[in-house]
Chains A and B, each alone.
Chain A
């Protein structure tokens, strides 16, 4: 199994600013995933982050808007840049261990 923590757990931000979300896993993992869950909707994969290489982004998501760092095998950050109210969502970090996907508690972001 894997235990994932995220910081911050929630934040309220002004439009035009940026927020960096941190994800820490209690074991070393090759791939870390970032998802977004907009209000009342399902989870959408933003990108996959491998240690030591650039993240792979899904259609509709770009590095300039959601830069990701992956400095080691237990940590990753996701930055939501130049925020607008449409970015208000829960952002979740996830890892895959032994065929099972584990999720962090999420970061609830509200953009005013």
Chain B
């Protein structure tokens, strides 16, 4: 079984500041990890994913995340926030279960960007 914890339901940053959204996971088997973004009244959009290989993964819109197995973390970062980054962000973990792969989502973190 797997689970995801996103630390902080709301994060507020100033435009141009570093964005850090935290995600910790648990999984009994090697996981696949994802970050999705959801803009108001829109569907989910994949930002980036980690499956195997390089632990630092780069995604769209300047976001990146680092898989740290020892810390069971997959935090999302962006060096400089833009107003258009204001949205809901979901961390997700996918792992093989008895019936196949299953993807579980964190509770989400709403990012606010101040001018």
Residues of A within 8 A of B (CB): 30-31, 33, 35, 41-45, 48, 50, 56, 92, 94, 96, 99-101, 103-106
The yes or no answer to B102 lying at the interface (CB within 8 A) is: yes
Tell me whether chain B's interface is mostly helix, strand or loop, or mixed: strand
Contact (Cβ within 8 A) B44 A103: yes
Which residues of B from 46 to 85 have beta carbons under 8 Å from A?
A: 46, 49, 51
The yes or no answer to B87 lying at the interface (CB within 8 A) is: no
Interface size on B, residues (CB 8 A): 20
Q: A99-B32, A99-B51 are in contact. Are A42 and B102 (CB under 8 A)?
A: no
Of B101, B105, B106, the residue contacting A96 (CB under 8 A) is B101
Q: A30-B100, A43-B105 are in contact. Are A101 and B43 (CB under 8 A)?
A: no
Residues of B within 8 A of A (CB): 32, 34, 43-44, 46, 49, 51, 90, 92, 94, 99-108
Q: Identify 6 new A-B residue pairs, CB closer than 8 A, beyond the known A43-B44, A92-B44.
A: A41-B107, A96-B101, A99-B51, A103-B43, A103-B44, A104-B43
Contact (Cβ within 8 A) A33 B103: yes
Of A30, A33, A41, A100, the residue contacting B46 (CB under 8 A) is A100
Which residues does chain A contribute within 8 Å of B102, judged by CB atoms? Answer: 33, 45, 48
Of B34, B106, B107, B108, the residue contacting A101 (CB under 8 A) is B34
Tell me whether chain A's interface is mostly helix, strand or loop, or mixed: strand
Cα(A62)–Cα(B108), bound, Å = 25
Q: A99-B32, A100-B49, A105-B43 are in contact. Are A56 and B99 (CB under 8 A)?
A: yes
Cα(A52)–Cα(B43), bound, Å = 29
Which residues does chain A contribute within 8 Å of B100, judged by CB atoms? Answer: 30-31, 48, 50
Cα(A98)–Cα(B107), bound, Å = 25
Cα(A56)–Cα(B99), bound, Å = 8
Contact (Cβ within 8 A) A101 B51: no
